[in-house]
Structure 1
Amino acid sequence: MIDETATQSTTGPALTASSGARWEIAQRVLRDVFGFDGLKPPQQKVIDRLFDGRNVVAVMPTGSGKSLCYQLASQCLPDLTVVVSPLVSLMKDQCDALKRIGVQVARLDHSVSASDWRTDLKRVRSGQCKLLYVSPERFFNERFRSVLGETRISMLAVDEAHCMSQWGHHFRPDYLRLPDVVREFAIPQTLALTATATPKVIRELRSAFELSRTDVVKLPTHRSNLQLHCTLVTTTQRDQQLIQQLQQAKRSRKKGVSIVYVTRRRTAEQLAELLIEHGIDARAYHAGLDPSDREEVQQWFLQSSDGVLVGTVAFGMGVDKPNVRRVIHYNPSSSLEAYCQEIGRGGRDGKVTTCQTWLVPEDQVAIRNLPCSDWPSKASVERLLDRLVGQPDSFYLSLNKLAWDVNLSAAVVGTFLIQLRQRGNLELLPARYDVYRIKPRMEPSHWMGQMPEGDADAIAAIGASLVKSKRGFRVNLILATRQYQIPRERLVRALEELALAGLLELESSELMHGYRWKERVTRPASVVKHLIHRFEASIEMAHERTDEMMDFLACRACLPITMAAHFGSRRSRPCGKCSACQGEGPWETGLKKPASLGDSVKKAMREAESDYPDLFSDPVDRAKFLCGLYTPAFMRFRVNRHFGFGVCESVPFTSVLAAMRDE
């Protein structure tokens, strides 16, 4: 627990003092709370700059202690530190670990219970809790903005900041809006953290947060205890080699767990079963498992001393287990950035860890095809523009419903709307919920008596606009706004205050994203062409990243040297331990030019067109069908049950698309 003197020091006048005074507090908290005698030099550099009031980009490899930079600084800055993190599981793991050592921390996400939500908000608003974790989408949500109220924010910490880059490997559209948050909430400082940023991504982060070169703290991406190996094998050899490697590990004295990364969910399940048949304790993990099953597998892994987790890339972010002795890629990573993150989950205790890739070059087809599942047909983008141009000056949309309606993924629709904002067509508004439901704990007429400082007019309007439903009451905010001339923001704030006071249980659903026209689209055909071009450019970048990954795995030169060059670092001395240094390779990783589609493929396509005459007017949709890629329409009509679905699964999507366009 944080002792009383530390708590008083971190909330008192000393926090407005000099950098030196903050360091005195930091050193005490570091020792007494976090249990460290000192910081690593890069952590010291980051926090030095923060205490000097500067914005910072920290590029540090997985396992090097990035999180401690903002966790420690948060206890020494005067007001709230908000951490933006992309995954609920990542936020939960960090918050649970902080609570165990006595740090006051809160997180606001959909998995938090109503009672915990109330408790955490009260601690945040009172200043008792100075560290708050949220998803990037949460900032643009009317409920979050209402409950945050006048709470002052000292720092915004952006974890996994590479998600801000449209050309990065894990782009999240709402990350692009974070600079707007800094301006709107007048946040004086920003800390952007990532383990994997190329020079181009670093330039984007510097531009977004207006940083100088001296405010970038960068470490080499590779940790020397990770020994990198790549071996070219056939599909049959790979299973044999993997089983042999894991059985030898089981017999060796080097105790520790193993992670085996695969591309597809079904591969994870089939491979885990194969390993179990050979006496290896293995479990499968992927995003298709129920949340409770994922949690059970993750807990098994954390408690295991020699287990093998076979997982997709859905596993690993935020999992801090020191004794991962082997990180094995059954299928190659999609990019060097992803590879570095994945191998970075090994050897966090500093001991030697094997990072092995069993390379079957044909596996890259699945990696290249995966992002193509979002490839928009011209008809879908035209339908999207048609839905938008008819909207009033300000409007709200459900991205999921809109995406389903126009046969695009919600992620693509959200990205296209962000791009319309960048073109100057749209302004983004805070998201709102279409449905608010309450369960009063007392008669609404008694609410004001329990809230002497409440907004009486707003509370009265809410009480008068309740509609009885199966689960309590539905709040008709549109009626309350129109009839009582009270802005929606006040009504939502009043609802939150009633919930915080424990006078009602509040639920919200059906999130709607808001937009305002700044310049109407007058040439839809030109905009459609622009949006498709932007998407195709992003696919080209994804394929270039895969090319870089395969070139790396060819082992033409020392692997750590090649990795350093990719991330803009210098390394001249070969490691002497990787496959290339030990004389293995170079490997041939290129793909053979695919043969033309055979008659059986063409027959399958003709039958599918006959069975589903409305689904295949565009070559993009025909190519997706043949490659086994899903669209909302395919899911709606269960097209995956057709015998021809996925018949070209092992053929690059771009080749199939070219063939469909030539017909």
Structure 2
Amino acid sequence: MPTTTDTLGELLQQHFGFAEFRPGQHEAMRALLDEGAALAVFPTGGGKSLCYQLPALAVDGITLVVSPLIALMKDQIDFLQRRGIPAARLDSSLSSDEVRAINDRLRAGELRLLYVAPERFNNERFLGDLKRLKIAIFAVDEAHCISEWGHNFRPDYLKLAQMARDIGAERVLALTATATPKVVQDICDGFGIKPSGVVLTGFYRPNLTLLTTPCTPAERTPLLVQRLRERAPGSTIVYVTLQRTAEAVANFLKQHGFAAEAYHAGMNAEDRTKVQDWWMADPARIVVATIAFGMGIDKSDVRYVYHANLPKSLESYSQEIGRAGRDGVPSIVEMLAAAADLPALENFVYGDTPSEQSVRSLVHDLLTQPEEFALSTYEFSNRHDIRQLVLRTALTYLELLGALRRGTPFYAGYEFRPLTRIDDIGDAFPGEHGRFATSLFGAAKRGRIWYGLDPEKAAESLGVERRRVVKALEVMSERGLIELRASDVRDRYTRLTDLADEDRLVAELVGRFEHRERQEIERLAMVPALVEHEGCQVQSLVGYFGEVLPKPCGHCTYCLTGKAQAIPALPPAATITSLVTPRDLAELTANNPGELATPRQLARFLCGLTSPVFTKSKLSRHPLFGVLDEHPFLDVVAAVT
């Protein structure tokens, strides 16, 4: 249908019940429909999702939405289905039956919107299905993840722009809440978005009072309690860095009479959902959370956001305070800034940088594989002492450098448990098929409840092809005879080069990781600089994102007090040699020559930074593990060197 301004307005009223657009929404939709590519940079809660949901109803074909946030996908699909708009998602939380049903609807042309995680594009069958469909809009949420200059770089995002071209997407829409001018340029370059297609509504939020309060670690929790007692009741988020801090602060607040619960990634999904629902149900409740909380949550009346620890970047800070006052009502955000947080935040950055030794070991291993091979990121992570997310980044870099090509992942293991007697399962199939189904239980390793099966080994022992084993398991699951779950995912790769390229690839990877490390440390230093800024702090914050605020805001700590602040310096820490003697180091390295072979590995151990090799060797239980966790990482490297 023709997509005139009137048409979009009619669809807005008809399907969503809104009388008018929010700032920037209509401009982004027009750029998408008229120019074929647009970037929408709206603050958290600014209505980014409508910029693809509404055009999806105005064009012929399917709208593909790429998002890393499962919670956001679920919420949006519920929202769309309540309005009679056919939408679905494909993500890791779905069963094989659910995935199959959605793929059938996709091929039948029954969906208007499909939400997927970026990792889904590594599935060759899924890509094949997309190439046979009319992809009207390719929408990428959290688009800043494409940029290595961004604060939340995700390696799978680097390939999305090419994927959009490969599947013949007619229009591309990129969306983010936080993007510096450099990140905006990277997004536009990647997706071919013209300057006229960029819509920025600005980062300035006039209803937010932005407070920063320098303090010592000992003052921080009492200050938080004082703030909570002084203020009017209202929905509250308290952000902290560590999972154990979330638990400790939540318990402290409970002891002082507040309705508070912790929320972090270490909790299981059911418990996290319970806490989120509990918090959403009553505006007087407080959630103490790591940054795992808040993504995709549709709650407009958050009145207070406190940072009990320093955020890791201005991008993170902007996104987290953006969850307050999304209804336009005055709200307060306050950072309790203590210098003691910096070493821990810096150590997170240093802990993610693999050693040159680990990088060389990885590259050599990959270049000596057969031309076609499969790997387990868990096994390779342990083998080369590289964290799994960092390993995935390295593998993506190697793809972009032309050394590897990734194929469709597969499951190397399955777990299943019978829902009826095994004999009855055999009787459910005729003749030889029943005997084969029963034989799978004999080929599996039996646990207390679940059976574990390697389909490759089972196929070999039973003299059949692997696909017959997998098919039998799936059929038994479909008929309700067993509960089936896949495990041990393996990634297929094609090796495109050989050992002649080893030195070049190692140098390239080491350089990229070192650059990333420097950049993250510089980004972290901007947070205390904002607290101590001599001038309007809001002007400084929005200026970081390229927005010019013509006059001081009048509602930040500097504007309210008229003076700059200073974060109290850390008290002198105990000297490194008083906590770890040369004799201790000599004994450590002699007993663990492989795990602590380099100064950087030794510094990671002493600063308490976990790594696959420390977990495997149980070194993280050693009494000296983390003994220098309050010392700057580079100081520890220099000392042990």
- Give yes or no for TM over 0.5: yes
Could you tell me how far 1:357 is from its partner in structure 2?
Answer: 0.6
Give the structure 2 partner of residue 601 of structure 1.
Answer: 580
Could you tell me how far 1:144 is from its partner in structure 2?
Answer: 3.2
SS class of match (1:50): helix
Q: Quick one: structure 1 residues 409 and 472, their matched pair in 2 at CA, closer, same or farther if it must change by over 3 Å?
A: closer
Kindly provide the amino acid, as one letter, of the partner of residue 203 in structure 2: T
Asked if the contact 2:147/2:183 (under 8 Å) is kept, the reply is yes
Of 491, 515, 537, the residue aligned with 1:537 is 515
- Summarize the alignment of residues 491-510 of structure 1 with structure 2, pairs less than 5 Å apart: 508-510=486-488
Greater mean deviation of Cα atoms: 99-108 or 115-124: 115-124
- Superposed CA RMSD in Å reads 3.4
Distance of 1:208 and 1:504 partners within structure 2: 48
Of 30, 44, 55, the residue aligned with 1:48 is 30
Of 351, 363, 366, the residue aligned with 1:373 is 351
Deviations 1:60-105 (A, max 9, x none): 1001100111111222221111111112222222223333333321
Give the structure 1 partner of residue 631 of structure 2.
Answer: 651
Give the structure 2 partner of residue 70 of structure 1.
Answer: 52
Q: Quick one: structure 1 residues 476 and 344, their matched pair in 2 at CA, closer, same or farther if it must change by over 3 Å?
A: same
Give the structure 2 partner of residue 19 of structure 1.
Answer: 3
Residue 248 (structure 1) aligned with residue 248 (structure 2): no
Q: Quick one: structure 1 residues 47 and 501, their matched pair in 2 at CA, closer, same or farther if it must change by over 3 Å?
A: farther
- Summarize the alignment of residues 68-467 of structure 1 with structure 2, pairs less than 5 Å apart: 68-142=50-124, 144-145=126-127, 150-249=132-231, 252=232, 255-435=233-413
Could you tell me how far 1:475 is from its partner in structure 2?
Answer: 6.3
Greater mean deviation of Cα atoms: 309-318 or 548-557: 548-557
Kindly provide the amino acid, as one letter, of the partner of residue 309 in structure 1: V
Residue 625 (structure 1) aligned with residue 609 (structure 2): no
Of 623, 628, 634, the residue aligned with 2:614 is 634
Asked if the contact 2:124/2:407 (under 8 Å) is kept, the reply is no
Could you tell me how far 1:117 is from its partner in structure 2?
Answer: 2.9
Q: Quick one: structure 1 residues 466 and 497, their matched pair in 2 at CA, closer, same or farther if it must change by over 3 Å?
A: closer
Give the structure 2 partner of residue 7 of structure 1.
Answer: none
SS class of match (1:155): strand
Could you tell me how far 1:393 is from its partner in structure 2?
Answer: 2.4
Distance of 2:369 and 2:306 partners within structure 1: 51
Deviations 1:346-387 (A, max 9, x none): 111110110101111221221111122222123212221221
Kindly provide the amino acid, as one letter, of the partner of residue 101 in structure 2: T
Asked if the contact 2:123/2:408 (under 8 Å) is kept, the reply is yes
SS class of match (2:521): helix
Distance of 2:346 and 2:471 partners within structure 1: 50
Asked if the contact 1:83/1:156 (under 8 Å) is kept, the reply is yes
Deviations 1:528-580 (A, max 9, x none): 23322221111110011111122111132112211121111111211111101
Asked if the contact 1:554/1:585 (under 8 Å) is kept, the reply is no
Q: Quick one: structure 1 residues 304 and 113, their matched pair in 2 at CA, closer, same or farther if it must change by over 3 Å?
A: farther
Asked if the contact 1:19/1:52 (under 8 Å) is kept, the reply is no
Could you tell me how far 1:128 is from its partner in structure 2?
Answer: 2.2
Asked if the contact 1:143/1:493 (under 8 Å) is kept, the reply is no
Asked if the contact 1:393/1:517 (under 8 Å) is kept, the reply is yes
Greater mean deviation of Cα atoms: 590-599 or 216-225: 590-599
Give the structure 1 partner of residue 422 of structure 2.
Answer: none
Kindly provide the amino acid, as one letter, of the partner of residue 81 in structure 2: K
Distance of 1:319 and 1:351 partners within structure 2: 18
Could you tell me how far 1:433 is from its partner in structure 2?
Answer: 3.6
The count of corresponding residues between Structure 1 and Structure 2 is: 619
SS class of match (2:145): helix
Distance of 1:271 and 1:248 partners within structure 2: 18
Deviations 1:448-487 (A, max 9, x none): xxxxxxxxxxxxxx99x9997546998669989xx9999x
Report the TM-score, using the length of structure 2 for normalisation. Answer: 0.88
Give the structure 2 partner of residue 564 of structure 1.
Answer: 542
Residue 547 (structure 1) aligned with residue 525 (structure 2): yes
Distance of 2:610 and 2:115 partners within structure 1: 33
Q: Quick one: structure 1 residues 502 and 31, their matched pair in 2 at CA, closer, same or farther if it must change by over 3 Å?
A: farther
Could you tell me how far 1:521 is from its partner in structure 2?
Answer: 3.9
Deviations 1:242-286 (A, max 9, x none): 10111123xx3xx42111111111111111111111111111111
Kindly provide the amino acid, as one letter, of the partner of residue 290 in structure 1: N
Distance of 1:153 and 1:510 partners within structure 2: 32
Kindly provide the amino acid, as one letter, of the partner of residue 370 in structure 1: F
Distance of 1:215 and 1:398 partners within structure 2: 41
Asked if the contact 1:146/1:493 (under 8 Å) is kept, the reply is no
Greater mean deviation of Cα atoms: 574-583 or 90-99: 90-99
Unmatched 5+ stretches in structure 1: 1-13, 448-461
Kindly provide the amino acid, as one letter, of the partner of residue 350 in structure 2: C
Distance of 2:74 and 2:256 partners within structure 1: 35
SS class of match (1:310): strand
Could you tell me how far 1:183 is from its partner in structure 2?
Answer: 2.0
Report the TM-score, using the length of structure 1 for normalisation. Answer: 0.85
Distance of 1:558 and 1:268 partners within structure 2: 31
Q: Quick one: structure 1 residues 48 and 105, their matched pair in 2 at CA, closer, same or farther if it must change by over 3 Å?
A: same
SS class of match (2:178): coil
Distance of 2:472 and 2:113 partners within structure 1: 24
Could you tell me how far 1:210 is from its partner in structure 2?
Answer: 1.1
Distance of 1:28 and 1:517 partners within structure 2: 53
Distance of 1:153 and 1:444 partners within structure 2: 44
Q: Quick one: structure 1 residues 287 and 345, their matched pair in 2 at CA, closer, same or farther if it must change by over 3 Å?
A: same
Distance of 2:275 and 2:136 partners within structure 1: 37
Q: Quick one: structure 1 residues 496 and 643, their matched pair in 2 at CA, closer, same or farther if it must change by over 3 Å?
A: closer
Distance of 1:41 and 1:340 partners within structure 2: 19
Distance of 1:19 and 1:496 partners within structure 2: 48
Q: Quick one: structure 1 residues 264 and 474, their matched pair in 2 at CA, closer, same or farther if it must change by over 3 Å?
A: closer
Asked if the contact 1:196/1:337 (under 8 Å) is kept, the reply is yes
Kindly provide the amino acid, as one letter, of the partner of residue 212 in structure 1: K
Could you tell me how far 1:518 is from its partner in structure 2?
Answer: 3.2
Kindly provide the amino acid, as one letter, of the partner of residue 19 in structure 1: T
Distance of 1:601 and 1:546 partners within structure 2: 28
Kindly provide the amino acid, as one letter, of the partner of residue 140 in structure 2: V
Give the structure 2 partner of residue 453 of structure 1.
Answer: none
Deviations 1:210-264 (A, max 9, x none): 1111111112113211111101112222222110111123xx3xx4211111111
Kindly provide the amino acid, as one letter, of the partner of residue 309 in structure 2: N
SS class of match (1:240): helix
Kindly provide the amino acid, as one letter, of the partner of residue 135 in structure 2: I
Distance of 1:325 and 1:512 partners within structure 2: 45
Kindly provide the amino acid, as one letter, of the partner of residue 337 in structure 1: E
Q: Quick one: structure 1 residues 571 and 444, their matched pair in 2 at CA, closer, same or farther if it must change by over 3 Å?
A: farther
Could you tell me how far 1:343 is from its partner in structure 2?
Answer: 0.4
Distance of 1:37 and 1:305 partners within structure 2: 28
Q: Quick one: structure 1 residues 564 and 600, their matched pair in 2 at CA, closer, same or farther if it must change by over 3 Å?
A: closer
